[in-house]
């Protein structure tokens, strides 16, 4: 039986599109179905000023315009001692800066510019609350004593909870929820939102480790237990309004994913929507798709409906590419090829 549904254009609330040749190869995949995407600032050097945010935004638009002229990326700037309040205020007012992203130092790719403690930024965070700038948080303890599977929960307890309580007017997004503990945190505090990735909904640490180590599934925060994955998927299927689609698509070259020390990141931009559609189809919850990938984010950010809709059709298995070429020497492995074989997405103009 053919399944056919239409949903609003998607918003991706967490994506890495990199720069240079990688940007040109990967950003068009995000722009195809999205009205907007929150682009992360962990480049070298990091995006940490109005000027660098504006230049990066313009560069992204220049490589996505031919795919979707309606695509309007949002840039999150890097929270570090280099970020200046007046510059942030002006860049936010101009629409070139959309949010501020905090990384614990060393937690993931190019995050060594961060400073250890979120609390050390309280004066700046207080100003952000007063001007309405959202704080996006990579919640992962970097304490080497803490087990890797407990790091999200520990960061929430040890660092984010105090900030949450100190600044009740600050809008906070807990990025890439990976545990039931993270979901509980989001649900139990006002003005607190969460993003969820396709790979944390579909895969768990058994997929990563149990049948031979799968480097393409290695990401931060690490895929956690089957129980955690189930809690996240149940929340999405039930239409939990406090979570929205954030792919955390994070491309690395195949060489970096096959190296002695494997880079953290899953490249899912080509099939992120198809992965979620197939999961919800399997759960009998396709009616929750439009809320998760579109409307929940509109509610959090106070947005109007998008200028176009999407049509999704489920069909027999079709061929799908397993890699994307960046240049003649570099390719990136794509996540979610199997579920994507059942789905075709197209754009419906309004």
Nearer to Zn ion by C-beta: 48 or 248?
248
> Per CB under 5 A, does 171 bind Zn ion?
no
Q: What is the DSSP code (8-state) at residue 233?
A: H
Alpha-carbon gap, residue 84 to 90, rounded angstroms: 10
Q: Which is nearer to Zn ion, 176 or 281 (CB)?
A: 176
* Nearest position to Zn ion, beta carbon: 248
Q: By three-state DSSP, how is residue 348 classified?
A: strand
**Chain center to CA of 27:** 14
Closest separation in Å from C-beta 121 to Zn ion: 19
Peptide bond into 45 cis (omega under 30): yes
Q: Does 152 bind Zn ion (CB under 5 A)?
A: no
* Integer Cα distance of 121 and 162 in angstroms: 12
Q: Residue 137, SS3? A: strand
Q: Known catalytic residue: 157?
A: no
Question: Can you tell me the distance from the alpha carbon of 44 to that of 252, in angstroms, rounded to the nearest whole number?
Answer: 14
Using alpha carbons, select from 136, 143, 126, 140 the residue that is nearest to residue 47.
Answer: 136
Q: 335 with 268: CB under 8 angstroms?
A: yes
Q: In this complex, which beta carbon is closest to Zn ion, that of residue 266 or of residue 288?
A: 266
**β-pairing, 34-39 with 10-15?**
parallel
Query: Which of the residues 226 through 285 are near Zn ion (CB under 5 A)?
Result: 248
**Angle, in degrees to the nearest 10, between helices 180-187 and 226-237:** 40
- C-alpha separations of 78 from 75, 180, 323 in Å: 10, 27, 30
Q: Which is nearer to Zn ion, 140 or 248 (CB)?
A: 248
Neighbours of 271 (CB within 10 A): 27
Shortest distance, position 169 Cβ to Zn ion, whole Å: 25
Q: Positive or negative, the Cα torsion across 37, 76, 156, 185?
A: negative
Q: Say which of 12, 96, 216, 248 is annotated catalytic.
A: 248
Nearest to 275 by CA among 312, 241, 223: 312
- Of 107 and 233, nearer to Zn ion (C-beta) is 107
Task: Count H helices and E strands in the chain, helices first.
Answer: 15, 13
- Tell me the closest approach of the beta carbon of residue 210 to Zn ion, in angstroms: 25
Nearer to Zn ion, 240 or 248 (CB): 248
- Nearest CB to Zn ion, comparing residues 37 and 326: 37
Is 243 within 8 Å of 195 (Cβ atoms)?
yes
C-beta of 246: minimal distance to Zn ion in Å? Answer: 8
CB of 99: closest distance to Zn ion in angstroms? 13
Q: Least distance in Å: CB of 331 to Zn ion?
A: 21
How many residues in the shown chain lie near Zn ion by CB under 5 A?
1
CB of 329 to Zn ion, least distance (A): 25
CA 274/CA 243 separation, integer angstroms:
18
If we measure between CA atoms, which residue out of 134, 41, 54, 38 comes closest to residue 90? 54
What is the set of active-site residues?
A: 248
Q: Which residues bind Zn ion (CB under 5 A)?
A: 248
């Amino acid at each position: 039986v053919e399944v056919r549904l239409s949903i609003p254009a998607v918003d991706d609330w967490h994506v890495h599109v990199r720069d240079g040749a990688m940007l040109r190869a990967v950003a068009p995949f995000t722009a195809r179905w999205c009205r907007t995407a929150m682009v992360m600032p962990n480049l070298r050097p990091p995006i940490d000023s109005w000027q660098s945010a504006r230049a990066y935004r313009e560069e992204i638009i220049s490589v996505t315009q031919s795919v979707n002229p309606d695509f309007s990326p949002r840039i999150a700037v890097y929270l570090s001692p280099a970020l200046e309040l007046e510059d942030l205020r002006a860049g936010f007012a101009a629409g070139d800066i959309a949010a501020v992203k905090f990384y614990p130092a060393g937690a993931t790719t190019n995050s060594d510019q961060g400073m250890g403690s979120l609390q050390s930024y309280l004066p700046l965070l207080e100003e952000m609350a007063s001007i309405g700038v959202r704080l996006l948080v990579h919640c992962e303890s970097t304490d080497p004593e803490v087990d890797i599977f407990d790091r999200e929960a520990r960061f929430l307890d040890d660092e984010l909870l105090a900030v949450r309580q100190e600044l009740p007017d600050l809008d906070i997004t807990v990025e890439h929820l990976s545990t039931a503990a993270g979901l509980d945190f989001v649900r139990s505090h006002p003005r607190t939102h969460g993003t969820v990735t396709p790979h944390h909904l579909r895969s768990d640490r058994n997929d990563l480790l149990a049948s031979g180590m799968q480097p393409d599934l290695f990401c931060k925060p690490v895929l956690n237990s089957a129980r955690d994955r189930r809690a996240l998927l149940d929340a999405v299927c039930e239409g939990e309004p406090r979570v929205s689609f954030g792919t955390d698509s994070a491309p690395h070259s195949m060489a970096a994913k096959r190296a002695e020390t494997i880079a953290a990141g899953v490249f899912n931009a080509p099939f992120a929507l198809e992965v979620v559609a197939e999961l919800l189809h399997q759960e009998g919850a396709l009616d929750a798709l439009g809320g998760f990938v579109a409307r929940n984010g509109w509610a959090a950010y106070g947005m109007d409906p998008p200028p176009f809709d999407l049509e999704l059709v489920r069909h027999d298995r079709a061929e799908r590419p397993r890699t994307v070429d960046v240049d003649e020497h570099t390719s990136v492995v794509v996540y979610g090829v199997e579920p994507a074989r059942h789905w075709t997405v197209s754009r419906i103009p309004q």
